[in-house]
Amino acid sequence: MRGWVEGGGRWARRRRATTGGPTHAALSRLAIPLVRTGRAPAVDDRSLLAESPAPRSTRTPASARPHARRLTTIPLAALIFYEVSGGPFGVEDAVGAGGPLLAIAGFCLLPLVWSVPEALVTAELATAFPEDAGFVAWVTAAFGPGWGFQEGFWSWASGVADNAIYPHLFASYVDAAAPSALAGWRRPALTVSLSLAGAWVNYLGLGVVGPAAVAAAAAVAAPFAVLVGLAAPRVQPSRWAAHPPWGEVKWGALLNVLFWNLNYWDSVSTLAGEVSRPATTLPRALALAVAFVVAMYVLPLAAATGVLPAGAGKDWSLGYFAAVGKAVGGAWLSWWIVGAAAVSAAGQFEAEMSSDAFLLLGMAQRGFLPARLAARSKHGSPGLAIALSSVGILLLVPLSFLEIVDLLNAIYCLAQLLEFAAFIALRVRAPHLARPFRVPLGTVGCVLMLLPATLLLAALFILPAIERNWTMLAWTAGAVVTGLALQALINMARARGWCAFVGAAPHDFRELLAAEASGLAPGARVTPAPAPEVDASGEVVDDGGHEFESLIDGGAGVGLDAGLTRRPQRAGGGAGGGLASRV
């Protein structure tokens, strides 16, 4: 069997996702394939296969067959660029809040404090858990399925809020270029239409979205390359030092805008199950994206603030780059930037929608959510998950840009703090976890690397209380309460059989940690089994090569040590942890 015995093949058969009754729980055990660099267990693969029941002959619909991993380095880097940035659209309010000095300094320093550490954590754990559950898998492996569910809900909620921003970005640039074009009902009609059109494009799958992101990134960079080239001879560096009186700096708005423009590096982890050769592709794509994002912020911002008069800082607000283009190159450059804003909004929407939808798919594959959310369309996209994310976006579209930024940042801080904690916990508890990419630091070094980013997260989290931003505090508290209530409701649905789930309870990957004490050969490494594939009717059509109900219960002698398989808990197990069954 793959990963368990040398020369093993792959055996999987089709079965319906269960609601986790005791009969299924009694038949299932945890199992995890191993990537061994030490001795292999003394098992005869041929005798194992001879004792195995023959797989049933079934015709699997094309839409339900194991999907191809489509994303390579350049398309993935483009998607990361759009998940994090999409260009300098949205940085204008940082200049308005703190002037050119603090805005440029922030976009030069914050990537070192925040973006690089987050990207390194993502590269290590996304290659260790190359599946669509992404950071949910990391947190669950470290702290159990209760915290894993909350991580998934918080990240999905902040991602949906983030995606509601992008129609606003484009509408603001149209307003800047033609102030009366979106008067009255036209603006909300445009934002809703853009949201629905973006959801449809995402439904067409990553085979469309990935290459489109590459072309869109080039289209966004082009007018700003021209802007920088035209402005360079006229730049006066002394203007970069301008800032408002220190007592008038809007620190809350400045930090929120800087942070929003440089976060979501972890979002790519929810596409890890779609990446070709993730062990090498993910780190390379993240490195390319970090360099491209920083350049796309700092160069246009330095060029624009170095050309405009020192007193122009107070005029900077969302959409102001269109006015900068007109001042530097004329109306043609202004409208080119507006066109790039449309492309950027579309690209950011598609990238974020992909991450949010595949997050729900990955959670359903691992038993956190109903099995139907794990179903793929004929294009390989998670259609129902896209529809659910779209509903959330439409509910938030009426809010303003800064209101949405305030709402999403606090809940994102909670999720990111939990991810950092999981990263350190897995370094301590699971040192033999296979990490194709590993941050070249020890545990103490990793703690020191994450300390400034953690302090930034803590500052952003407590800032609303200091500023008495009751709306933001209520949103954060509401998101926490909603996550707990939703988890209780899903546990009840599983226990009462209201809908089908993959497995008897959420898979929490604790078997990785149990394997540490199971007597593995020296140098052995443990790697998680892939998530199962589910069709539109809730049937598991590909279990990742590890469905062995009668084989394991029958004691066929797979050769695993006792620490690698343990009995599952009852369906709807507690939030704090406990081992769960894998279909």
> Residue 570 contacts by C-beta under 8 Å, 6 or more apart in sequence?
20, 22, 25, 504, 505
CA distances for 517 relative to 28, 408, 468, angstroms = 22, 41, 49
- C-alpha of 469 from chain center: 27
Instruction: Judge contact between 10 and 2, C-beta under 8 A.
Output: yes
Pairing of strands 533-534, 539-542: antiparallel
The DSSP symbol for 64 reads G
Residue 18 pLDDT: 41
Report the predicted TM-score, pTM, of the whole model to 2 decimal places. 0.72
Instruction: Judge contact between 298 and 240, C-beta under 8 A.
Output: no
d(CA 574, CA 579): 10
* Residue of 231, 386, 354 whose CA lies nearest to 299: 231
Instruction: Judge contact between 111 and 316, C-beta under 8 A.
Output: no
Residue 417 pLDDT: 93
Instruction: Judge contact between 28 and 514, C-beta under 8 A.
Output: no
Sign of CA dihedral 40, 42, 43, 46: positive
d(CA 247, CA 331): 37
Structural domain boundaries of the chain? 73-407+434-470
Residue 329 pLDDT: 93
Q: CA angle, 213 as apex, 136 and 123 as ends, to 5°?
A: 35
Q: What is the CATH number of domain 73-407+434-470?
A: 1.20.1740.10
| Helix (H), strand (E) at residue 76 | helix 73-84
Helices and strands (H, E) in the chain, number of each type: 20, 5
Instruction: Judge contact between 275 and 281, C-beta under 8 A.
Output: yes
| Helix (H), strand (E) at residue 260 | helix 251-261
> pLDDT 10s digit of each residue in the chain, 583 long?
333 322 333 333 333 344 443 333 332 323 333 333 333 333 333 332 233 333 333 333 333 344 555 688 898 898 899 889 889 988 998 998 899 999 999 999 999 999 999 999 999 999 888 888 888 988 988 898 889 999 999 999 988 888 888 887 777 777 766 777 777 777 778 878 878 887 887 777 666 667 888 888 999 999 999 999 999 999 999 999 988 888 888 888 898 889 889 988 888 887 787 888 888 888 999 999 999 999 999 999 999 999 987 665 567 887 889 889 999 999 999 999 989 988 888 888 888 888 888 889 888 888 889 988 888 878 777 888 888 888 888 888 777 777 777 777 778 888 999 999 999 999 998 888 888 899 999 999 999 999 999 998 888 888 778 878 787 788 888 889 999 999 999 989 988 888 888 765 565 455 544 444 344 444 455 555 555 566 555 555 554 433 322 222 222 222 222 222 333 333 333 333 332 333 2
| Helix (H), strand (E) at residue 203 | helix 186-203
The secondary structure of 367-399, three-state, reads CCCCHHHHECCCCCCCHHHHHHHHHHHHHHCCC
